[in-house]
Amino acid sequence: MNTAKPNPSRDAVLRHVRPRDLQAALRLATQATTEVIGIAEGVHQAVRGRLGLPAGTSPHRTGGWTGQIYQGIRGVTQFVGQGLDSALASVLPLVDDPAYHPAPSPAREATLAALNGILGDRLQETANPLAQPMELRYQGQRLPLEQPALLRERLATASPHLLVLLHGLCMNDTQWLRKGHDHGAFLAQALGATPVYVRYNSGLHTSTNGRDVARHLEGLTAHWPVPLESITLIGHSMGGLVARAACEEATRSGMAWRSKLKNMVFLGTPHHGAPLEQAGHGIDSLLAANPFTAPFSRLGQLRSAGITDLRHGHVRDADWAGRERFASAATHTDTTSPPVAPSGVPPDTASPHGFADLREPLPLPEGVACFTVAATLAPQRSLLAERLHGDGLVSLRSALGQHDEPRRRLAFARDSERIVYRTGHLELLSSPAVAQQLLQWLAPAPDRPVD
């Protein structure tokens, strides 16, 4: 029985920081220290090589007594880290009562979402407590898919129309609410739908999250309290790629919910990649080209699998499996195919940024009405706006599914595309014009509002 008494001061602290966060932060600090030691040794080895001194055990490791010293430093770091981790593991149960945790603050939730977006794959690989598990959420609470009776009770007022919303990179489900507006709540009221929000670790591969979303939706729809008539997926940014991955997995596996999927809406989704990740990959390549700066490229390689998936808009496992995430086109290593884009275009010309795009084209799903909204910071439509401007993170062409190779283009119908001007990437979440466009697209035909 939980005998802890409410304490306003303690509650205020626990809403932002939990005792177990100390253990999680310690693990991250140990990993970061080990990485810094590796960078220092890499620079040391580069200098030794330039001076003609004996090579080490690898291009980034020194040999002899120097190598042993670095190895000793790494060993001490790991030893101290593991010792403190064990000590905390024995003490934390005495000071941390999981049953007495107040609702987390929005600041804590946003911080964890951002951390998972940047390092989420590493957090999961190391079983770090800060790793975000996937959840389906309704009215601000996790839906207990493992307890069908309780699930039906939570969804007692559900409608036959399910609206599923998927957030973008470094975000979470609560951030659909922006400037007092939430597309999910707005559409739910206008259309009589039930909004369910996906919370996921955006640092994992898009295909991994898509597969998990598909499985979660299969469990959810199997216990939906009323007969389902339709499902609509709405994805913002990366969330649109995850939605496509989930649809592909459901189609491939023959999941029941796929037959109920009627609409998919993409808001600023980088269907063919985002310039920010492409630029980051370019910086990695520049650093790696010089032996003295090559060790520092490891800093850029800390970014998550989810981020690197945004280089070209990866959706399926085959888009990345067997390939080095941080290899440039010139040094590309691929255990499943030669370093040539599927179209036969050489790697150095396979994309506008010189990095091979090895995706096999994935068209929009059959039998589903697909819509896309692209934003631009430009004030009006022009050639410059269409070719150069985007919403600050995603270009117009990528968000519209356009591509120079015809087979890669996504065939959105003309009346299923919308460009909004003077609008940034995050402003897509609060734009009144976007909200009205969504309503116009998704409302049943007889009830669609007239412009």
What letter represents residue 414's amino acid?
Answer: R
Residue 439 has pLDDT above 90, yes or no: yes
Beta strands in 359-400 (DSSP E): 369-375
Mean pLDDT lowest for which of 48-62, 159-173, 409-423?
Answer: 48-62
Helix H, strand E, coil C: the string for 251-307 is HHHCCHHHHHEEEEEEECCCCCCCHHHHHHHHHHHHHHCCCCCHHHHHHHCCCCHHH
Strands 230-236 and 177-178, by their bridges, are: unpaired
> Taking a C-beta distance cutoff of 8 angstroms, is the pair 250, 282 a contact?
no
Per-residue pLDDT, averaged over 49-62, amounts to 53
What is the pLDDT confidence band of residue 63, given thresholds at 50, 70 and 90?
low
Angle, helices 20-50 vs 64-95, to 10°: value is 170
**For residue 57, is pLDDT > 80?**
no
pLDDT band per the 50, 70, 90 thresholds, residue 137: very high
List, for residues 108-121, the tens digit of each pLDDT value: 788 889 888 888 89
- Give per-residue pLDDT as tens, 385-427: 555 578 888 999 999 999 999 999 999 999 999 999 999 999 9
- Of 99-103, 226-230, 373-377, which gets the smallest average pLDDT? 99-103
Strand order in the sheet with 141-142: 141-142, 135-138, 194-199, 161-166, 230-236, 261-267, 369-375, 417-420
Supply φ then ψ for residue 32, to 5 degrees.
-65, -40
Give me the residue label for tokens 């042993």.
68
Q: Average pLDDT over the chain, rounded to whole? A: 76
Cα 404 to Cα 341: distance, rounded to the nearest angstrom? 14
In the prediction, which pLDDT does 380 show? Answer: 74
Predicted pLDDT at 49: 52
Reported confidence tier of residue 15, pLDDT bands at 50, 70, 90: low
Question: Which has the higher per-residue pLDDT, 34 or 350?
Answer: 34
Position 382 pLDDT exceeds 90: no
> How many Cβ atoms sit within 10 Å of the Cβ of residue 115?
21
Q: How confident is the model at residue 347 (pLDDT cuts 50, 70, 90)?
A: very low
What was the pLDDT predicted at 83? 52
The tens digit of pLDDT for each residue in 221-260 reads: 999 999 999 999 999 999 999 999 999 999 999 999 999 9
